[in-house]
Amino acid sequence: MGIWAGRAATEIAASVRAGDVTARDVVQEHLEQIAARDGELNAFVKVRQGAALDEAAEIDARQDMTDLPLAGVPIAIKDNVQVAGEPMRSGSAATPPGPQEKDHPVVARLRAAGAVVVGLTNLPELGIYPFSDSAYGITRNPWDLSRTAGGSSGGSASAVASGMVAIGHGNDGAGSIRIPAANCGLFGLKPGTGVVPAELGIDDWAGMSENGPLATTVADAALMLSVLAADPALASVTEPAPLRIALSVKPPAAGVLVHRDFVGAVRATGRALHDLGHAVEAEDPRYPVWAANAVIVRWLACPAAEAVPYRAADLEARTRRHAAAGRLFSRVRPPRDDDRARLRDVLAPFFEAHDVLVMPTLAQYAPRARRYGEGSWLRSVVTSLRYAPMTGTWNLAGYPAASVPAGLGPNGLPMAVQLVAAPGDEAMLLGLAAQLERVRPWARLAPPRPR
């Protein structure tokens, strides 16, 4: 890795603004890192080699460099939001191959802040599953090439964790930022409803999906979130005064087994938070049975609606079966407009008594990297529900939630805990995560590993 590839976004932006390095040189070095690493990781579906260098040169020529919070920072964009001049394939061969006419609002905000889009990243077809294999290949985990990077923002997570970009864009309909962040040893945050423009159309999973950052440090994620939310105050991370913190390893649905390593990670995090002066107690939220059903129905029904414009023959067989199941479940228990309000009413007493919930991000370690789309639909569903059922409740509720690295397991894979707070408390989550990062620092990048 060169001088700049692998450095934090905050450091890169400060150095470009100060004139210590050009944006073009920073981007060139990251493109070289992509050339060296992406052959084994397959994080990108499109690398914008020439366009990225041209855009970096334009940043170098700007007169308002000091006003660009992300000056020259290389970023990856998940390939399910619009990037002007590029196709948007959403992990599918069925989607139109033509270029998009304009940037999605979050892409426009990132570019206006000085970030350089070096490429578009892989995801499962239509973003349905928590592992990123698609018609464009299998995205692998930089910590262990035999494992998935997760999904659906797995391409962005793999790109960040390997140092191919400084920060990555993801979106999260039932955990799709937090799941790959946990798999790849990153900090990832799903903001609460309305903080960042979603504008994902029918891909918003009935209002559950949000755009957010994937980063190697809390400060980088906060800086990116401040740009996405058009709220500069979010970039100033402040460690919080003592908080009331609840620890829970209870899954939000019956029948889920949480790996003992992840139970241990939550308890170890609780001890660290207690030592920091927070009031920590074991306390489980009350998860209504219908809430898990409501999340699963949206996971089935919303992709079914999203698949309608495309030729069925061009979709993966797995996606066609998923859509058929979604149509069936929609007749039995369609998504209800009042599900979010009902769930918030149930959760409100818990978050009146506690400021933050600490719980596992995942139930099991990242499964094997394989072409799930060519296999059984039922296998994909069971694998998804077995390893990544801990996040979707907070999408339905519209609460902010973050995945924070929590060391390595005995197998050398990253572990993580999930922090959840009430709506509007993104800054508090960032501050608490920064406190954990200070006392329990994590490896920012995955070491290169043989296949």
Each residue's pLDDT tens digit, 244-259: 999 999 999 999 999 9
Q: Give the count of domains, the chain.
A: 1
Domain assignment of residue 316, yes or no: no
Kindly state whether residue 451 falls inside one of the protein's structural domains. no
Catalytic residue among 134, 176, 226, 403: 176
Asked, for residue 448, whether it belongs to a domain, the answer is no
Is the distance from CB of 259 to CB of 249 less than 8 angstroms?
A: no
Task: Let me know if residue 309 belongs to a domain.
Answer: no
Our answer to whether residue 152 is catalytic in this structure is: yes
Please give the model's pTM, rounded to 2 decimal places: 0.98
Rounded distance, CA 280 to CA 278, Å? Answer: 6
pLDDT category at 449 given cuts 50, 70, 90 is low
Q: Tally the residues of the chain.
A: 451
Residue 63: partners with Cβ closer than 8 Å, 6 or more residues away: none
- Known catalytic residue: 190? no
Structural domain contains residue 312: no
Helix (H, G, I), strand (E, B) or coil at 95: coil
Catalytic annotation present for 158 = no
Cα separation values, 309 from 94, 242, 313, 413, Å: 9, 51, 12, 39
Split at pLDDT 50, 70, 90, the class of 330 is confident
Which listed residue (152, 153, 209, 248) is catalytic? 152
Which 3 state secondary structure label does DSSP give 178?
helix
Residue 311 lies in a domain: no
CATH of the domain at 27: 3.90.1300.10
Residue 404, number of CB atoms within 10 A of its CB: 28
Residue 446 lies in a domain: no
209 φψ region: left (φ > 0), alpha (ψ -120 to 50), beta (else): beta
Neighbour tally for 256: CB within 10 Å: 17
**Is pLDDT above 90 for 450?**
no
Copy the structure tokens of residue 270: 């609780």
Catalytically annotated residue among 78, 132, 190, 403: 78
**Domain that includes residue 204, residue range:** 9-290+333-439
Q: Indicate the pLDDT class of residue 334, thresholds 50, 70 and 90.
A: confident
Rg (CA), the chain: 20
3-state class (DSSP) for residue 298: helix
Residue 156 φ then ψ, to 5°? -65, -40
Q: Is residue 299 part of a domain?
A: no
pLDDT category, 209, cuts 50, 70, 90?
Answer: very high
Task: Read off the pLDDT band of 451 (50, 70, 90).
Answer: very low
pLDDT exceeds cutoff 70 at 56: yes
